[in-house]
A = this chain, B = another copy of it.
Amino acid sequence: MEFTVGQIAQVVGGTVEGDAAATVSSLAKIEEAGPGALAFLANAKYEQFLYTTAATAVIISPELPLRQSVAAALIRVADPYSAFTKLLEFYQQATRFSRRGVEEPSFIGASSTIGGGHYRGAFSYVGEGCVLGENVLIFPHAYIGDRVHIGDNTIIHAGAKIYADTAIGKRCVIKAGAVVGSDGFGFAPQTDGSYKAIPQIGQVILEDDVSIGANATVDCATMGSTLIRQGVKIDNLVQIAHNVEIGRHTVIAAQTGVSGSTKVGDYCVLAGQVGLVGHISLANRTTITAQSGVQKSTKTEGQILQGYPAIGLKENQRATAVYRRLPELERRLIALEKSQPAPEKG
């Protein structure tokens, strides 16, 4: 896809300074851009790159005065960041989400329905009794079990598996290889020390605007629902166990695990490789730093916790600072002990 600088300016409603006939075919950061690329400058911190960039064109604000000559064509527009983001979305849509219709072979149960504007890729599978909305994109090798509901404009990426009875909202993104609604890890110990699987008959509910990362796993509830509320963003390789509830607009980074029946509040941030034990609840706006392990419920909102077991960030950082000096502290303690008079009384 190649566009002239003039065409781009029209799309974003800007004015051109320089060669409006120059053509661009990619989008790049101003500090990395090469010939044929379109970049943007929104942050004054990066202004220096404007005078050295190899980009063919740069989107900048109308007010920015030029302190040196600029080789690139300029597109002046009121909000360069927003204009550029729009182009990114357009580019992503055109290059990665443009397929519509049905590629064969594909499979859909006779009792399932799907709205207009959809894509069902080759080798995609949709079971029976599914209700899929408008503009739903189902990539190749995606598996959608029976009685799954999917809202409008949701994207199911390649090889994602959505198990029976899952309900997915609008504008959700389920990335490649994610498994949603697989059986929870529930086993009843037997008297001989073996385990018997407890049938898992519940479901997963993903509300609107939820994103599930590549190869992440969200187990169905034993009974009832594992519930991922509106706007939650879950990164790759995250594990969400059965009967968990994640509050609205919470963000969970890669490789974190949330154990069964735990409830995470709204607007929380769980960094990477965090672990939460089961049957606890985290207050709203809690942040857990990377690799920490949370063992207890919290009630105060807005805390930042760290460590294993996780305690207040500052408290943990102070303890960690001393930790490095432990060998020295021990030596000083021993020195003190030796300097004491021998206990001769008695």
Q: Is A167 on the interface with B (CB-CB < 8 A)?
A: no
Q: Which of B125, B197, B213 touches A141 (beta carbons < 8 Å)?
A: B125
Least distance between A171 CB and chain B CB atoms (Å): 9
- Are B177 and A177 touching (Cβ within 8 A)? yes
Indicate whether A319 sits within 8 Å of B323 (C-beta atoms), given known contacts A107-B140, A176-B179, A272-B257: yes
Give the dominant DSSP class at A's interface. loop
Tell me the chain A residues, 262-293 only, with Cβ under 8 Å from chain B: 267, 272-273, 275, 277, 290-291, 293
Least distance between A230 CB and chain B CB atoms (Å): 8
- Are B107 and A122 touching (Cβ within 8 A)? yes
Residue of B nearest to A330 (CB): B322
The contact size tier of chain A is 35 or more
Least distance between A93 CB and chain B CB atoms (Å): 8
Q: Is A60 on the interface with B (CB-CB < 8 A)?
A: no
**Chain copies in the assembly?**
3
Write out the residue numbers on chain B whose beta carbons fall within 8 Å of the beta carbon of A322. Answer: 326-327, 329-330
- Are B217 and A236 touching (Cβ within 8 A)? yes
Q: Is A198 on the interface with B (CB-CB < 8 A)?
A: yes
- Are B337 and A332 touching (Cβ within 8 A)? yes
Q: Is A43 on the interface with B (CB-CB < 8 A)?
A: no
B-binding segment of A9-17, A68-76, A154-162: A154-162
Q: Is A315 on the interface with B (CB-CB < 8 A)?
A: yes
Q: Is A302 on the interface with B (CB-CB < 8 A)?
A: no
Residue of B nearest to A209 (CB): B194
Write out the residue numbers on chain B whose beta carbons fall within 8 Å of the beta carbon of A324. Answer: 311, 315, 319
- Are B249 and A237 touching (Cβ within 8 A)? no
Indicate whether A197 sits within 8 Å of B211 (C-beta atoms), given known contacts A125-B140, A179-B177, A290-B293: yes
Q: Which of B85, B125, B267 touches A193 (beta carbons < 8 Å)?
A: B267
Interface string of A16-36 (1 = CB under 8 A from B): 000000000001110010000
- Are B213 and A215 touching (Cβ within 8 A)? no
- Are B275 and A291 touching (Cβ within 8 A)? yes
Write out the residue numbers on chain B whose beta carbons fall within 8 Å of the beta carbon of A308. Answer: 291
- Can you name 13 A-B pairs with beta carbons within 8 Å? A123-B123, A141-B141, A157-B161, A177-B215, A179-B236, A185-B213, A195-B251, A213-B217, A215-B237, A254-B259, A273-B275, A291-B293, A322-B327
Least distance between A217 CB and chain B CB atoms (Å): 4
- Residue among A176, A177, A254 with the highest chain B CB neighbour number at 10 A: A176
